[in-house]
A = this chain, B = another copy of it.
Amino acid sequence: MLFSEDIKAAVESLLFISPEPLSVLDISKLVNIEPKDVEQIILEIQEEYKKATHGFHLIELAGGYIFATKEKYEPFVEKLLKPQLSTLSHAALETLAIIAYKQPVTRSEIEAIRGVKVDKILTTLVEKNLIEEVGRKEGPGRPIIYGTTKDFLKYFGLKELSQLPEYHKLIEKTAQDED
């Protein structure tokens, strides 16, 4: 093996204990090894936890890596944690979709697309930390502009925003629906 067992175990301990996904760069700084070596170790760890005897694995999420339970064992975990499975309303999902694709975007731009007021939904989404104010737009009233957060990526299990279906693909899909 290229890497000492210890360094690999150190990386694993960090991934195990970190409450947030750790990026290659984070790990590289913490363990003081080259990023490409971190990448190699991550691949090895991912390979290891793919084995059927493991109940969790290392997933890529929101620009980093984090251990998560395998979907398959959800019924057991649910029994243990009894999580509140509250899902987002359709209105919230539509609003999030618009922000995700059009960010940075103002409230009135979102309202123009949805055709309804979104002020309350925006407050809820900010509270849930799925979106955040990213600044103010130049111009009359200097309206707040919104963008999605890292928690947005985590909530939807996305590695990065580019994992959203491309905008033109959505168009193709809707165009097909017309036929």
Residues of A within 8 A of B (CB): 5-6, 8-18, 22, 30-31, 48, 52-56, 67, 69-70, 72-73, 76-77, 79-81
Contact partners of A72 in chain B: CB under 8 A: 6, 9
Q: A12 contacts B79, CB within 8 Å?
A: no
Q: B30 contacts A69, CB within 8 Å?
A: no
With A5-B53, A73-B9 as contacts: A80 and B16 at CB distance below 8 Å = no
CB distance from A23 to the nearest CB of B (A): 12
User: Which of B13, B22, B48, B81 meets A70, CB within 8 Å?
Assistant: B13
With A30-B79, A31-B76, A79-B30 as contacts: A17 and B69 at CB distance below 8 Å = yes
Contact partners of A22 in chain B: CB under 8 A: 80
CB distance from A37 to the nearest CB of B (A): 15
Q: A54 contacts B17, CB within 8 Å?
A: no
Q: A70 contacts B9, CB within 8 Å?
A: yes
Identify the closest chain B residue to A52 (Cβ): B5
> A6 to B46, alpha carbons, bound, how many Å?
18
Q: B9 contacts A81, CB within 8 Å?
A: no
Q: List 7 A-B contacts (CB under 8 A).
A: A9-B70, A10-B73, A12-B56, A13-B56, A13-B77, A14-B77, A31-B76
> A48 to B67, alpha carbons, bound, how many Å?
17
Q: B16 contacts A76, CB within 8 Å?
A: no
3 closest Cβ contacts across the A-B interface? A13-B55, A12-B55, A13-B73
